[in-house]
Amino acid sequence: MQMTETKRWRFKGPEMEGAIARWYARVRGSQSQLEAYRKQASQLTAGLLPGARVLEVAPGPGYLAIEIARLGGFQVTGLDISRTFVEIAAENARRAGVEVEFRQGDVAEMPFANESFDLVVCQAAFKNFTLPRSALAEMHRVLRSGGTAVIQDMSRDATHADIDREVKGMELGRISTFTTTATLEMLKRRAYSAAQFERLANQSPFQTCVISTEGIGLEVRLNKKEESK
């Protein structure tokens, strides 16, 4: 359910549709990054029981959701605001031979019933949400009691050197290296520091969170408390 919330300012850049979305899909699909998604998939789902339902919010081209589906035993769904990304992700899943349901929709008003998922994941997107409090409230709503939301994004405290190391590890061409570095420098201005996100989490239905940082990254884990019987 969407809360009454003033929209957060957002730099008005190109929307992730059409050619821009396809360019992003290519940039994020290098072999080194696909290997990183594979590793992340195992880490994020560690401890989940067979048959657990996993939602990735803003999956973009769908690489992480697909790697989670490759592990087997999980029901995986992706929700993205971009129709182009939904099309790209669905095609990527078809080519990979895995079943993932990719749907178009808004994180601030998700088209899912209460307590539908055991794990909600959001990578590299939360800083772009114009209604972050509504997004957290929706993540809490669709999580089952005892479920976890994991948000991985840029840290506002990332340095220029951190960004340079991150882009170097992507193994991109010269032009893509330049544009990706410039994009990350711009997006850092929208990113949250650990202290900022902690305040945001404290005001959400989750009430608390656990935050860790490394390089340009910020990881936030939020647990939905189990109801007292």
pLDDT tens digits, 63-106 = 999 999 999 999 999 999 999 999 999 999 999 999 999 999 99
Q: CA 68 → CA 124, 126, 149, 191, distances in Å?
A: 17, 20, 15, 26
What integer pLDDT is reported at residue 205 of this predicted model? 97
Any idea what the CATH number is for the domain that residue 136 is in?
3.40.50.150
Strand segments, DSSP code E, in 12-87 are 53-57, 75-80
Instruction: Work out how many domains the chain is built from and give that number.
Output: 1
Q: How many Cα atoms sit within 13 Å of 61 on the Cβ side?
A: 21
Report the chain's C-alpha Rg in angstroms. 17
Domain assignment present for residue 12? The answer is no
pLDDT tens digits, 108-126 = 999 999 999 999 999 999 9
pLDDT tens digits, 18-74 = 999 998 899 888 888 899 999 999 999 999 999 999 999 999 999 999 999 999 999
What integer pLDDT is reported at residue 13 of this predicted model? 52
Across 223-228, average pLDDT: 84
How far is residue 33 CA from its own chain's centroid?
15
Domain assignment present for residue 42? The answer is yes
State the pTM of this model. 0.87
Domain assignment present for residue 179? The answer is yes
Domain assignment present for residue 228? The answer is no
User: Is 37 in contact with 64 (CB distance < 8 Å)?
Assistant: yes
CA–CA gap between residue 9 and residue 84 (Å, rounded): 24
Domain assignment present for residue 6? The answer is no
Domain assignment present for residue 184? The answer is yes
Domain assignment present for residue 124? The answer is yes
